[in-house]
Amino acid sequence: MMAEFLQYVITGLAVGMVYALIALGFALIWKSSSVANLALGQLVLISSWFTYGMLVQAELPYWLGFPLTILFALFLGWIIERFALRPLIAQPILSLITVTLGIAYFIEGLVHFIWPMSVAALPRMFPKEPIHIGPAVVSQEYIWAAAISLVIFGLLSLFFKYHKMGIAMRATADDQLAVQACAIPVTRVFSISWMFACVVAAVGGVLVSLIGGITFGLVETGLKSFSVVILGGLNSFVGCMVAGPIIGLCENLGGGYLTPLIGPGIKDIIPFIIIIVVMIIKPYGLFGETRIERI
């Protein structure tokens, strides 16, 4: 009984950190340009496939393949911002969200185009022996994913708090006009935020692919990360890191104990139920800023 509980808790935390990592990319874009990036899952997907292409198809060594993936993610973010989002800078939010939907479709088609296989495996990077915490087990990839997501969270928080560009990003999210008056190039701010977000998505994608292989399921994992950002608050990194494990815990504990009662499959739907509940109770999430609208 206790062993089961411990196992659920550990697995929930581990899976939650993975969700949090992907959610960081989303929060990054929202924090700097107030654009909702519905193409998050697809960005994760294409970065993972690119890594596959580098490591397996081109057979490059790790120290060359990964930096190339980062470069690719930077390039991808720049292209998306430059050609799809910059023309729409002052448009209503509906257009911005829908254009990311269009980008999502486009990227998915591109993935089909270049890599017609629907599943692929990255070469195994960590030993397969799981780590034992008491009676519970957790595989090594999760530990690495949690560690890397904490590192990225730390880096991003410091960047946003102390680095000049980070402060500029926060200012842009607050008031674009004032930022332009201060001679900060808003377009460059957007570019950099998208580039960073793509890099974070790429890192997240590689880690998830190491766990489960590269499949179109990465898009669904992206959707579950939405529940993390909603719960944590759209523009809060701390919110992501806290909400990620919470969602993971709810999923595993809820799935663990409710399945015998309700029936199998309840685990899949728990993140979405959480979204609805959060929407009704506290729409801006645990750590998000409440929007105050003025006419």
Tell me how far, at minimum, the Cβ of 183 lies from another protein, in Å: 27
Pick 11 or 69: Cβ nearer another protein: 11
Rounded CA separation 81/87 (Å): 9
Q: Where does 213-254 have alpha helices with state H?
A: 217-232, 237-249
Tell me how far, at minimum, the Cβ of 75 lies from another protein, in Å: 18
Tell me how far, at minimum, the Cβ of 200 lies from another protein, in Å: 18
Pick 164 or 291: Cβ nearer another protein: 291
CA atoms within 13 A on the CB side of 146: 17
Beta-carbon contacts of residue 162 (< 8 Å; ≥ 6 apart): none
DSSP 97-121: HHHHHHHHHHHHHHHHHH---S-B-
Tell me how far, at minimum, the Cβ of 4 lies from another protein, in Å: 6
Tell me how far, at minimum, the Cβ of 160 lies from another protein, in Å: 21
Own/partner long-range contacts of 92-95 (Cβ < 8 Å, ≥24 apart): 93/34, 93/36
CB 125 within 8 A of CB 139: no
Pick 180 or 259: Cβ nearer another protein: 259
H or E element that contains 84: none
Distances (CA, A) of 269 to 84, 134, 173, 231: 33, 30, 33, 15
Pick 66 or 257: Cβ nearer another protein: 257
Pick 245 or 255: Cβ nearer another protein: 255
Tell me how far, at minimum, the Cβ of 194 lies from another protein, in Å: 15
Beta-carbon contacts of residue 76 (< 8 Å; ≥ 6 apart): 43, 46, 47, 198
Pick 165 or 213: Cβ nearer another protein: 213
Tell me how far, at minimum, the Cβ of 261 lies from another protein, in Å: 12
Collapsed DSSP state (helix, strand, coil) of residue 230: helix
CB 236 within 8 A of CB 78: no
Pick 71 or 273: Cβ nearer another protein: 273
